[in-house]
Structure 1
């Protein structure tokens, strides 16, 4: 999703880079960057919303560098419809982690159950968007194993035969 800028960014690109950007204007728009060719470079009129939400206190120069890096990555990448620039992925991953449930936060039982249901539907429920662990084990496996093995199992031979039959 793109977000119009109140004041456009002016990126001083050379003619060759401006022409190259002109050939990928549709892909740039899909990535949330809307631009137009002006005499001194490119005028950026909208950026991905995640760029503006990522760091509320980022400077205009930092935003300009982020947009410039995004354009460079799009220009340097072979045309693919499913392409998402790493700058956008990074901004989205950062937002995902900042909006996450933090250790020690109090939650209602219903919220906990809903969170478990949502996590169980994910492909990688045990890591964040950056690949870091997202769950903390409450008990260690060796502790469970020691507990389970310390209890005598009645009729182990009979159970084993029944299971193998």
Structure 2
């Protein structure tokens, strides 16, 4: 858009026009290219950076071997266990509980949840009866069989690994004709227990949803890896994690010293003692006692010679 400035005589004043445009552009700030404001750092509050700097300068790596030597101090706020862990490399093999240097807080709910999860996982398996020692998930019979729709191509893939489905706790009957329906006669026992708990609370049945999710998980493994894995299926793990969470020690549950010791001992036997059933950390470091500055109180003695000179000067001034 052209801007014209008229003089008093009615003529266009080119000099005034140029000055007006220059003034407008010099004062206008384009919001699209606005720079973010600079945030000043107050170095007087540098003590607030101690945690980040401490984590960089003194990183800690926990190991299972540290937990049996952990010294329980007491329960804190009915939520955590205050403990001492020995992280000194020169005393890594020392079994003494009195030499802990790192103060940590253990989440009592997360720790008990981990203990319960690993116990539930161990109980979820049966040892194979074919003398091979193959682990298979405990299953429960469904009567009448559960009807699930599955594309014919996916049915064909499942047929090819039908022998492995038994170790997954599944018993599938395929139709003789080209039918999208399959019939599930057995499912992992934890699915049935989950369904019973939901119905007991007045909620709708979840057995079909769990089985369909379970089948999708196995089909994705077959498509991506070409075979089924021998590890614990994710669908089963999520159900067991839910059981572990609901039955675990909660916040505000009071624990005496013996119960604290028992929880730590149970946690030391776990495969993943530093994570809860959902992957969150169960132990957090607070402070290394070796890095706490020992405050020494220095008693300053009065300088009697200086006081004497000041007294004499005051006497002369009087």
User: Normalised by the shorter chain, which TM-score bucket?
Assistant: 0.7 to 0.9
Q: Which residue of 1 aligns with 2:146?
A: 9
Is 2:272 the partner of 1:124? yes
Structure 1 partner of 2:304: none
In structure 2, stretches of 5+ residues that fail to align are 1-137, 297-318
From 160, 163, 181, the equivalent of 1:26 is 163
Q: Which has the higher helix share?
A: 1
Task: Write out per-residue CA displacement over residues 8-45 of structure 1, whole angstroms, 9 at most, x where no aligned residue.
Answer: 21012233222221112232221212111135411111
**TM-score, structure 2 length as denominator?**
0.41
Largest Rg, 1 or 2: 2
**Alpha-carbon contact 1:27-1:81 (below 8 Å) kept:** no
Native 8 Å contact 2:139 2:189 kept in 1 = yes
Q: Distance in 2 between matches of 1:80 and 1:14?
A: 19
CA deviation profile, 1:112-140 (whole Å, cap 9, x unmatched): 22211111233432321211233578xx4
Cα distance in 2 for residues equivalent to 1:5 and 1:108: 44
Match 1:75 to one of 201, 219, 235: 219
Matched, 1:103 2:251: yes
Q: 1:145 to 1:110 in 2, by over 3 A?
A: same
In the aligned structure 2, how far is the partner of 1:24 from the partner of 1:14? 16
8 Å CA contact 2:218, 2:228 repeated in 1: no
Q: TM-score, normalised by structure 1?
A: 0.72
Higher relative contact order (CA 8 A, sep 6+): 2
How large is the RMSD of aligned CA atoms in angstroms?
Answer: 2.8
- SS of 2:282's partner is coil
